[in-house]
Structure 1
C-alpha cells in the first residue's frame, strides 16, 4: 500500500478537485507533462525557510537544550532513529521521521513536554516551522497529521501542537480545535483515492492549487479559457460554461441579444466586448485596440480632477521579511514636473531598516506638504489601491504623519487611476495592470527589472551582496539598487504618461474639470489634532524606551503596560469616527469611478432609479419627498425609523446630503427628504436641486454620536494626567486584570449549590469596594434573574445600583427584573430609567423616566446608557455599576462612565454576540470590556468572576453539545431538564430515513448547490418540519414544575443568517413560526429552535464561512431551544475550503454537529 503524506493532505485541503488529482497522478508515477520551472522568488523563499529553521535551532542550542538533528529521509533507519531519540528524551528532535503504516512524514520539530505517555513521564508535541507571519490552514492540516503519526509512539494523541512562524513567534493550538475537521478531511481524501480514475482529468479552473497553480494556469492559457478575459469573475465563468461557452473566442462571437442565465445583459455585454477587443489585432503602431466608454457625469473620465502644475505621480516598492515577520517599504518614488509638458523629474526616498522606513515615509509626506504650499490644487496620482492602503498602515504603525494622511484621504488628494481607466475604456489586453495599459502610450521599457516580483528578488540579492546602500553605476554605488530605482522610476513615469493620456481623452470629449474637494464642516472637524490624541501621545511618550519591565508602576499608578492600554483607549471613539469617514470617502470615490463595487456594500445602495416626487408642506418648512427604487437583493445594513436617530445619506453625483424619509429594503424603495429651504438655496446658487434623474448611487453619511463621550473622557483624562486625580480603583483593577483571590473561595461555596449564587455574590460585593468582576451567564442559566436578585439584596442594605448596556431593550429588561425582584422581596426602592428621550416604552409600564438632573438619592436603581452615566453630576453616585450584555460594551465606553460607581459587575457572555466595531484598534483597545477581562478564556476564571454553570433551559444532551463546543465542557443541564421534550404532530423522518428525535440536537442535511443568501431547498425542508411540529405537544421543566402545552407558532423559533432568507421564510411560513435573524432572538427561548445555514458552500456564502459559522452566532441560534434544536444546512459546508484558522475552527464545530445524531 502506498503511504500518504501530510503534504498531500495539505494540498487536498485547498484544492480537493484539481490540485489533488494531478498530485495523485504524479504520486502514482503516471504524470507525463512538464511543470513550469520554479521561479527565482520561490527558490529564495525555500532558502529562507531553511534559514528560518536554522535560526530557531541555534537559539535553542544556545539556551542549552538537547537537540537531536536527524536526516528526515523517512527510511527505516530514520524511523528507528526518531524512536530512539524520543525514548532518550531529547528536548527537541529536528526532522523526525514518522510512519504509522498508512501515512509517513518528517516533522520539522518535536518538542518534549512534561506529560506522561508510553515513553515514560514525558511526551512530545509537533512544531511546524513556517515562514509566513500568520498561520494558514495548510499548516494546521500538517500539524494535525503529525499528531496522528505520534499516536502509536506515545499511546495517545497529543493534545496540542505549535506553529513557529515568521518573526520567531510561537503559536500554540489545542488539537481538538481542528481534529473533527481533520478527520473529515482524511475520510474525504481516502474516498478520493479509492475512486481515483487516471483517465478522468478534472476540468481546469483558476485558483490556488499549491505547487500545481502555474501548471494549471499554463493549461488554461493553452485552452483559450474564459479566464483570459480581463475582469472575468469565477461566477461569470461558471455561468458562461453552463451555457456551453468555454473559450474567449466563443464569448467574443456571441450574437447581440444573446442571454445567459444568471448574468445581467449589461454584464454579458461588458464581457463580450472585452473578449472581442482582446482578439482584435494590434494596430500598425503596435498599440492595442481600445474603446472609450460613454461619458457619464461624475464617473470615469468625468471624475478625473483638474490638472495642476504641482501634480505628483507616486509608486512604492516593498518586501516581506518572512524570517523577521515584518514588511519593509524600501523605496518611495515620485515624479513631478517643474514646468508643464516637460519630461517628469524623478525623486526617490530609500529605506533599508524600519527606522529608515519611518524617516523615508515622513520625508516623503513632508515633501508633498511642502509642495502643496506652492501648489494647493495638486493631486497625488497612483495606480491600484496599494499605495493608499500602505500609507494608512505606515502612519499608524510608526505613529507619524497621521493627520497629514487623514487630510489627504478626506480631501481626495490621492487619486487612484485604475478605476478611472476601467470605467473609461475597454482595453484589448488580458488585464488592466499598468504594464498592459501603458502599451497605449509608452514604448518598450528599458529597465532591467521589469515587474514587482523581479524587484523583490533584486532587493533580496542586494541584501546578500556587499554592495553599498546608495544606487548608482560607480564602484561606490550599488548597481542592483540602481536597477530597482530605474524600475520604480519607469512606474512613476508610466503613471504620469497615463494621466496625460487620460486628460487628452477627456479633452476630446469636452468634459469639464473639477478642483480639489472641499471638506464640509463635519469633515473639517476631524482634520485637526484631537485633544484625546495629544493626551494619548503624552502617555505613550512617558513610557520608558527601552522598557525593561512593563509591570513596573508609572506616575498614574498603573503599570506601564496598563498605561499603554489607557493611552490607546483615549482616542477609541475618534478612531471609530475616523474609519467611518474613511469608508465614506472610499464609497464616494467608488460611486464616481466604479459604482458596481457598491452592490455588495451594505452601507450603500447601488443603481437607485428616481421614480417620482411629492410635495409635503409643513408649518415650519415644507419638503419635496423624492422616491427611488432599487434591486432589493442588495445586502443592506441601512435602517431608518428604528429609534437609532436619523439616517443621512449622500447622492455622490451631486454631493447632496439628505435625510431618509422611508426605506423598505424588502421592496427595494427609498424616499429622501429635500427641504424647500435647501432646495431653494441650491437653485439660487445655480447648483440645481441636486436630484439625479438617471440611475445613481446612495451612500451613508457618518453620524458622529460619540462627541459627548469624547468630551467627558477628555475632562477625566486631563484630571488624571495634569491634576494627579486618581483613576477609579475598579478601572485600575480591570485594566491590570488583577485577580480577586477571595473569589476562589466564593466559587467553591456555590459550586455545589447553584441557588446560592445571588446571595453569595451580593454579600461579596457588599463587603468589597473598588473592584471589577464578571458574572458569565451562558444560554438559559438565568443571568438576568440572578443579577436582579443581586441588585435587590444590595438595595435592601442601602446601596444604589446603576444599570447600563449598549441597548435600551437590555437596560429595560434588567430594570423590569430588578423592580419585580425588589417588590417580591418587600423592598419599596424606586427603580427608574434615566433618559433624555421624548418617549420610552417603560413609561407606559409605570416606570419613572427622568433626566439626569432629576435624579434623587431615593432612586436606588437607575438604568441608562453610557451617554447618561458619563455625566459629571453622576460621578460617585452609585455603589455598583452593572453592565449588562458586557460582551457588547466597548472597554472605552466603560472607561467613560466608570466614575459613576465604586465597583463594576460585568454581566454577559463573551461566547454570544459580540460588540460591533469598525476600526482596527491597537493592542487590546478594541475589545469589549468582558472580552478584555476574560483574556481569551471561554469560561471566566474563578478569580475573575462567577460562572453560572447550570442551564435551566436546555435538555441535557443539547446542553452537553453546547457545553463542549463553546464552554470547555463546564456547562451542565439542570437534572429536571431531562423531561424537556416534544411530541411531533406527525412522525417526521430525516433525509437519512431515521425518525427525528423528540429532544436534543440534530443536523438535518439538505442537498443543494449555487445558493448564497437564499435556499429554497432549506425553506422547503423547514416548512415540512414546522408543519410536522404544529399541533404536537411540548413539555419542559420550569421552576421545579412541568410546563406543557400544544406546539403553536409561538413555540417554534426559526432563524437564518441572511435577511433575504429570513424574508422568504416569513413569506412561506406565513405566521406559523417566529422568524428572524439570530440577533433578534438573543435572550429568548422556545421549545423548538430551527436554524437555516442557507448557503450551499463557503465560496457562495456572503462574507464567507467566517460569518456563516461564526461561533457566537451559532451558539445563540442553537441554544434558544428548550427541547429540540435543529440545524438545517448543506452537507457540503463541512467539505468547504477553510481560508483562515477561524474558518477551520468553525468547520470543526460543524463537523462535530453533523456527527452528533
Structure 2
C-alpha cells in the first residue's frame, strides 16, 4: 500500500536522524598549483560561455534580421497577423493579452509554447517600444501572453499584432556572475564544492547510516532507493544520484526533501527547466508538503500555480485589504484631480485629502512588506530554475540543502547559481541521456555540453555517488538493449513491468500487438529519401512519415487510446509533418488531440505505453547528423512502457556500429520487420 503524508500528520514532531550542524570549513592550505587550477578552469568556462553567448546572438540575428517572415513562422520562431481578443489579469496581477489568428484558423502546433519569452510588436512598431512577455497559456486557437508593468499606448491603436521569440541575455549575465563568485570564493561552503569539483579536496562523510531502522516516510522505496536516502544523510558535502530511465530518481529526491523538512531544515530545489521544477513541486504537493515555487507564473505549469510565491502573496488575507486601499487611493486621486481642475475645494479639505492619500500609501507599503515577510519566512522548501535561483530573495537566504534535479541537462555555469546558496548538495541526473542544449559547435569535454555532474562523477569515489538500478517503466525487451549499451547491463526490470503487455490495458484485445515489445521497421531499399526543410536545416522524410501514420492506425484500431501513445522524432521538420498528417487543421481533433507528437529532446523525462520513433535519415552517403550522438537514441528508446516501434533506414543508420547492434538485437527478440512485408 502506498505510504502517504497522513501517516505522519505532524512531521515537525517526528523524530528522524538528528540535524547535523555544518561546521565552517577548515581553512585549507592553498598551494600555488591549486590557485592555478582554479584560475585555468574558470577562465576556460568564461570563454566557453562567451562563445555560447556569441552563438546565441548570431542565431537570433539569423532568425530575425536575415530570414523572411514566412521562414521565421515556419521555423516556429514567430506568429504573425494576430488579433487582440482580450485583456485581463492573473491572480499575481500580471496583465494578460490573448490573441488569435485573423484567419480564424488554428495556431501552428509547433510554434511558440507556454513559458517562451516573446516580443510583441505591431505593423512598423519601433523595436524600442516592443514589450517583452512570457507565453502564459495556449490552446489550438488562442495564445495568451503575460506582461509585467505598463504597456505602450500603441497597443490600443493597433489592429494587427505579431509575437516573436526573444533573446534573453540576462541569463548569461547571471551565469557570468556565478562564475565570478565561485572563482573568488575563499573559506566558504561554495569554495569547498568548487575544490571538490576540481579534485583539490575530498568530500567529507559521516558514519554510515544503516538502512535497517531508518525512519523512511515512503515505505514503498526499494533497497537501492533506500540506500540513496541513507547516503544523503551520511554525506556532509555532496552526493551524486545517477538515475537511469524509470528508476524513480525524483521519488528519491522527494523522500530526501521530506526527511530534511521533518528535521526543521531548509531546502532549495533547483533544475535547469521549468518542467523539471514543476514535476518536483507536484510530487511534493502530493504528500501535502508545503512548497514555494519561485518564478514567473507564465512559465509555471497551471497545475501548480497555487504553490507559486506570487500566487501565495495574492491569496494572503492582507491582499484583499491592499486591494481595498488601492481602490480608495485611486478614487481619492481622481477626486483631487477633478477638484484641482474646477478649483472647488478649500485648503483644509485639500490638506485632509493629501493626508489620507499619504496614509493609504504608507499602509499599502506596510501591508505588502508584512505579506512578503510572512510568506517568505514560511517557505522552508523553495523550488526555482537554475537561473531563477539568482533571484535576490534566494541570494539573501542560506539553505541547509541544495538539491539539483536533471543535473546533466544544465550547463556548468548555470548549475553554480543555486550551489552558491548550499550547505550540503545532492545532485541527480543521468549523463547517459541528452546533454544540455547549446548553440556552440564545440563538442565533448571542451564544451558546455560536459556538465558539472559528469566531472564530479569522474572524480568522486563510490561513497559519494550511487546508481539506481531497478526500473518501473519498461518491458524487459525494451530495457535490455539500452541497459547493455549504456548501463553495463545493470538495469533490472521490476516484476510489475517485466512482462507487462498491451492487452493488459482496457479495451486492447488484439494479441498480435503484444509480441515483440521492441520492434524495428526497416525502410531500406524502398527509396524513402530524406528532404532538408527550407530555412531551418532540419530534415523530414515524407514517405517514412506516411508509414508511421499507417502503423499508428493499426495500433489505434486495436483499441489503444491516443492518450497512451507518443510519436516522436529527432527532427523538428518531421515532427511538423507528422502533426499535419495525424491531426491536420482540425479545430476539434477530439481524442486525437490527446496523442502526443514531439521531438525526442522535448520528450526526455516522459513516458507512454506505446512510442513510435521516426528516425528520418535516409541517404546514399550514410549521413546521420546528430543521430550519431547515441544518447539521443537512449532517450528515444526508453520512453516506451509496453511497445516500442523504431522506423528507419538500416542501410543509412547501420554504418554506425551502435545501430548495427540495435538491428541485431531486434532480430534476436523477433522484432525486426522489413517495410517490404
Q: TM-score, normalised by structure 1?
A: 0.39
- Tell me the residue number matched to 1:1116: 635
Do the aligned partners of residues 763 and 559 (structure 1) sit closer, same or farther apart at CA in structure 2, a change above 3 Å counting?
farther
Matched, 1:702 2:167: yes
Contact persistence 2:209–2:234 (CA under 8 A): no
1:1123 CA drift (Å): 1.9
Q: 2:195 maps to which residue?
A: 732
After TM superposition, give the deviation of residue 707 of structure 1 in Å: 5.8
Give the C-alpha shift of residue 745 in structure 1.
8.4
For 1:1061, the equivalent position in structure 2 comes to: 577
Do the aligned partners of residues 1110 and 894 (structure 1) sit closer, same or farther apart at CA in structure 2, a change above 3 Å counting? same
1:224-373 matched pairs, under 5 angstroms:
none
| Equivalent residue number for residue 1049 of structure 1 | 562
Displacement of 1:804 after TM fit? 0.8
> Displacement of 1:648 after TM fit?
6.3
SS in 2 for 1:906: strand
Structure 2 counterpart SS, 1:931: helix
Query: Could you say which residue in structure 1 is the equivalent of 2:498?
Result: 978
1:767 is aligned to 234
| Aligned counterpart, 1:1106 | 625
Tell me, in whole angstroms, the C-alpha distance in 1 between the residues paired with 2:527 and 2:207: 51
Task: Decide whether the 8 Å contact of 2:475 with 2:493 is kept in 1.
Answer: yes
Match of 1:1129 among 648, 663, 671: 648
Equivalent in the alignment of 1:908: 429
Matched residue SS, 2:423: strand
Partner of 1:885: 406
Q: CA deviation at 1:954?
A: 1.2
Residue pair 1:775, 1:948 contacting (<8 A) in 2 also:
yes
Aligned partner of 1:1086 in structure 2 is 608
CA distance in 2 between partners of 1:943 and 1:763 (Å): 11
How far apart, in 1, do the equivalents of 2:602 and 2:102 lie?
28
2:381 counterpart SS class: strand
- CA offset at residue 942 of structure 1? 3.4
What's the C-alpha RMSD, in Å, of the aligned pairs? 5.4
In the TM superposition, residue 1148 of structure 1 has moved relative to its aligned partner by 4.1
SS at match of 1:763: helix
Q: CA–CA distance in 2 between the matches of 1:1000 and 1:615? A: 48
Among 849, 858, 866, which residue is 2:386 paired with? 866
Long gaps (5+) in structure 1: 1-551, 682-688, 692-696, 824-828, 989-994, 1033-1045, 1139-1143
Deviations 1:69-106 (A, max 9, x none): xxxxxxxxxxxxxxxxxxxxxxxxxxxxxxxxxxxxxx
Correspondent of 2:112 among 639, 645, 649: 639
Q: Which residue of structure 2 lines up, in the alignment, with residue 820 of structure 1?
A: 286
SS state at 1:736 partner: coil
- Label 1:1093 to 1:883 Cα distance change in 2 as closer, same or farther (>3 A): same
- d(CA) in 2 for partners of 1:730 and 1:576? 25
2:263 to 787, 793, 797: 797
Structure 1 Cα separation of the partners of residues 84 and 290 of structure 2: 48
- Superposed CA deviations along residues 143-186 of structure 1, whole A, max 9, x for unmatched, are xxxxxxxxxxxxxxxxxxxxxxxxxxxxxxxxxxxxxxxxxxxx
User: Could you say what secondary structure the match of 1:774 adopts?
Assistant: strand
**Does residue 1:755 correspond to 2:233, yes or no?**
no
1:1000 corresponds, among 501, 517, 529, to 517
Aligned length: 538
Whole-Å Cα distance in 2 between the matches of residues 917 and 924 of structure 1? 9
Equivalent residues of 2:120, 2:132 under 8 A apart: yes
Partners of 2:155 and 2:440 in 1: how far apart? 35
Query: What's 2:340 paired with?
Result: none
Instruction: Please give the alpha-carbon distance, in whole angstroms, between the structure 1 residues aligned to 2:183 and 2:653.
Output: 53
Shift in alpha-carbon separation, 1:867–1:1065, aligned structure 2, 3 A: same
Q: Kindly provide the CA deviation profile for residues 273-322 of structure 1, in whole angstroms up to 9, marking residues without a partner as x.
A: xxxxxxxxxxxxxxxxxxxxxxxxxxxxxxxxxxxxxxxxxxxxxxxxxx
Distance 1:758 1:997, change over 3 A: closer
Q: CA deviation at 1:792?
A: 1.9
Structure ID, larger Rg = 1
Aligned partners of 1:744 and 1:943 also within 8 Å? no
Aligned residues of 1:801 and 1:878 also touching (Cα < 8 A): yes
Partner of 2:479: 959
Check 1:554–1:698 CA distance in 2 against 1; reply closer, same or farther (3 A cut): farther
Distance 2:299 2:59 in 1: 33
CA distance in 2, matches of 1:1010, 1:815: 44
Give the secondary-structure state (helix, strand or coil) at the position aligned to 2:498. Answer: helix
Q: Where does residue 1029 of structure 1 map in the other structure?
A: 555
Aligned CA distance change for structure 1 residues 726 and 1090 (closer, same or farther; 3 Å): closer
Q: 1:867 to 1:589 in 2, by over 3 A?
A: closer
Is residue 1087–residue 1123 contact of structure 1 (8 Å, CA) maintained in 2? yes
How far apart in 2 are the matches of 1:738 and 1:588? 47
Q: Any residues of structure 2 matched to 1:16-31 within 5 Å, and which?
A: none
- Which residue of the other structure, out of 281, 292, 299, is the alignment partner of 1:832? 292
In the alignment, the residues of structure 2 paired with residue 982 and residue 680 of structure 1 have an alpha-carbon distance, to the nearest angstrom, of 55
Q: Displacement, 1:965?
A: 2.5
